[in-house]
Structure 1
Amino acid sequence: MFRGRFVVLILRPPSLQVVEPINRLLDTVPFDCVFYSLDWHPADHVSFIDNVHMRELHPSSPAQAYDTVVFAGPPPMRQRLWPRHCVQDSWGAELHKELKVVDGAVKVYKGTNPEVDSYSVFWDNKKLTDTSLIAQLRARGATDIYICGLAYDVCVGATIADALAIGYRAILIDDASRGVDLADIERTKATIVNSSGVIVHSHEVGAMVEGRDRRPELGYKLAMELKNAMEEAQ
């Protein structure tokens, strides 16, 4: 029996379309632990379009919202610009009032460094600093992680990519996630599938957590991780 079924909820002030399926999951599925990930940006964060004047841009860089720019550095740094969002201690950083927050859940804060953006709930984008999530999962003996929320092709995609790279069996809940760009969402899906991850609908999650639905992709992922561990031990 595999132990350690966890759900990681990646949430900004969310589209109401994700709240209902997430709440239904939290009411009906016996996850071992629930983690809520929150962007927690300082007001001078590097990703905010209205802060672009605070750092020197490479002369070739555009500077509109959703553009990817290059700050001059040193060292030069690529950064996608976003509208101001999730500022620390503001209402915009709060979980939606209609979202269920379960007893015993853990909140993980990311994006706190003003100079480095942070999409994944595991690390910042430069892999300089990790969050508390890695230690929390390790302490709980996690094996399977169910991931959903916002945005599908940004924070959700980066988180499941990291989870798979670390060695977790990772599942993205499709209808409990929403994204920014349709083409990027499709690329995110392809990356997950090519990395032995699984994409499911929320109505399938209960049977998977309870062991009644055993996906071959997850079995393959486990076998590969065991093989890698044995090779490293030799």
Structure 2
Amino acid sequence: MKTCFDVFDADRDGFLNETEFTELQHHLFRHRDGFHAVSDKQRIDIMKLLDEKQDGKIDREEFQTCWLHWLRQILEPKSALVIVDVQNDFISGTMSISNCPAKQDGNDVIPIINRLLENVNFECVVYSADWHPANHISFIENIKQREIHHTSKVTGGAAKIYDTVIFSGPPIMDQKMWPCHCVQDSWGARYHPDLKVVDRAIHITKGTNPDIDSYSAFWDNKKLSQTNLVCELTQKAITDVYVCGLAYDVCVGSTAVHSIEHGFRTVLIDDASRGVELADINAMKQKLIKTGAVIVDSDRVADMVDATDRRPELGYQAALNVAMARKLVKEEESKKQASSNGK
């Protein structure tokens, strides 16, 4: 740590000023063939997040935090692969995405995911699966089982697959209607037989509540309940989450969004994912990029997991994590102090 600080402290004043910290970032964010371009906004925002004293420079004490918490995420990441819903029904069953408007083939992701499992050193692998009861709210076949809210533009009798209706609840629920799929213990709910399933993987089931859908492997669609995924990843000290599978614009994208919200540096593997509607796929891509995710093809993943390809977008997410953790610690200390004064 001292050697690193001294290398970039060019004027030997015991601080890293903006120019010196910019030089550090230039050398940090690189790949096998050179350096990633770091925008002015990225480099300035990263420094502001790590500059605890907000005096425009990083002192040795602040650099110790950088070294232990920010640089460690970047140089020694712990990565998880989350494989979303590669199940029979989404590939050749009742919800085959090849029949959806985008006309993409779910089979295409299987060899790509299998190669990733064989060739990339992930700390852990997660498989998620829709695991619906037969009376699930998302099934078009069940639409008459629940009251339609008066604000719904589509009535129960007129609803078709892919329409969105509003159920009265409680709670009031916007719901896109799908064919019956991935019913618990059915053939359609099983992982596709060609998908490699590794030993000691984490298995997450979702959508088990009949009255609420669950696209994400982390939360249901109303964030009323969550799976144990964040606990599993936290216990393994995971920093980076790579997401792929089916369907891009629905469960894969929702899982990636929640991964970012939980503070994981998040990467969506583009060629290992397929979706339902092209416009929605593109909208999901833009949403993910805007919120800090990185989207890459599978041939880039091994270098990123091994930290030979270090992206500035993920460096920014790491700095956000440090700043958030620092804020939470200060809030906890303030609460303790207030409690102590109250006594």
Normalised-by-shorter TM-score class: over 0.9
Conservation of the 8 A alpha-carbon contact between 1:7 and 1:33: yes
Name the aligned partner's letter for residue 134 of structure 1. V
Where is the helix percentage greater, Structure 1 or Structure 2?
A: 2
Query: What is the CA–CA distance in structure 1 between the aligned matches of 2:170 and 2:317, rounded to whole Å?
Result: 40
Give the alignment of 1:23-42 within 5 angstroms: 23-42=114-133
User: 6, 18, 24: which one pairs with 2:109?
Assistant: 18
Alpha-carbon RMSD: 1.1
Deviation at 1:3, TM superposition (A): 3.6
2:201 pairs with 1:105: yes
2:98 pairs with 1:2: no
Q: Which residue of 2 aligns with 1:182?
A: 278
User: 221, 225, 237: which one pairs with 1:129?
Assistant: 225
Give the alignment of 1:9-158 within 5 angstroms: 9-11=83-85, 12-13=87-88, 14=91, 15-59=106-150, 60-62=153-155, 63-158=159-254
Matched positions, count: 234
Decide which moves more: 127-136 or 59-68. Answer: 59-68
In the superposition, the TM-score normalised over structure 2's length comes to 0.67
Query: What is the CA–CA distance in structure 2 between the aligned matches of 1:151 and 1:81, rounded to whole Å?
Result: 15
SS of match in other structure, 1:170: strand
In the superposition, the TM-score normalised over structure 1's length comes to 0.97
SS of match in other structure, 2:238: coil
2:260 pairs with 1:164: yes
> Unpaired runs of 5+ in structure 1?
none
Where is the strand percentage greater, Structure 1 or Structure 2?
A: 1
Deviation at 1:5, TM superposition (A): 0.6
Name the aligned partner's letter for residue 28 of structure 1. N
Name the aligned partner's letter for residue 46 of structure 1. I
Query: What is the CA–CA distance in structure 1 between the aligned matches of 2:220 and 2:146, rounded to whole Å?
Result: 19
Decide which moves more: 92-101 or 1-10. Answer: 1-10
SS of match in other structure, 1:180: coil
Query: What is the CA–CA distance in structure 2 between the aligned matches of 1:215 and 1:81, rounded to whole Å?
Result: 38
Bigger CA radius of gyration: 2
SS of match in other structure, 1:26: helix
Conservation of the 8 A alpha-carbon contact between 2:77 and 2:305: no
Conservation of the 8 A alpha-carbon contact between 1:3 and 1:141: no
> Unpaired runs of 5+ in structure 2?
1-74, 92-105, 331-343
Decide which moves more: 33-42 or 132-141. Answer: 132-141
SS of match in other structure, 2:128: strand
Query: What is the CA–CA distance in structure 2 between the aligned matches of 1:101 and 1:121, rounded to whole Å?
Result: 17
Percent of counterpart pairs with the same letter?
52
Deviation at 1:184, TM superposition (A): 0.7
SS of match in other structure, 1:101: coil
2:310 pairs with 1:214: yes
